[in-house]
Amino acid sequence: MLDRILTLGSFALAAGVVLAVQATTAFAGDADKKPSSVLDFHVKDIDGKDVELSKYRGKVVLIVNTASQCGLTPQYKSLEADYQKYKDQGFEILAFPANEFGQQEPGSNSEIKTFCSTKYNVTFPLFSKIVVKGEGIHPLYQFLTSESTNPGRGGEIDWNFAKFLVNRKGEVVARFHPKVKPDSPEFLAAVEKALAEK
């Protein structure tokens, strides 16, 4: 009986060591994979398919949280105009619907997709609804709004249509308040400057 207890104890100890080693390895692996750029993230598109943002490396990217029932929703029209104007130069707009502000994006992904295509003829990439502020915040937006990972441009999202401009290297180079219109001289100058850098 004593032999059996000792054997079970040894087995438990060995198992504990193995688990500890696995946990340490997983932690080390996670640390190695800590995102250093917005292009390190994986997201889901509006149809629920996985997308690696690394596919946009070498492009100038605008990341914007959107809503369908907001006073700023007409910005979709200007965003689409910007996309058509600059996409051949390597400009991409990534729209992330979110419902944190006044619950102005209550619809499903399919409803959002239909709204954007029929109301504003949106052709730039739309992604699945995510949380951009507070509990459950998506890792991408945690990265964008943290001062430690996005110094000088961090801070909570103010409202729908906050805009982050990312250069061809995956670095955030500008952040625009939701009320800054996509057709404003200030905004377009920043986009053109980023596009000019190779």
Coil, strand or helix at 103: coil
| DSSP secondary structure letter of residue 97 | E
Residue 130 structure tokens:
């995510």
CB 98 within 8 A of CB 105: yes
Which residues are catalytic, by number?
A: 70
Please list the residues that pair with 44 across neighbouring strands.
Answer: 50
Distance, CA of 159 to CA of 177 (rounded, Å): 8
Angle at 154 (CA atoms; ends 150, 156), nearest 5 degrees: 145
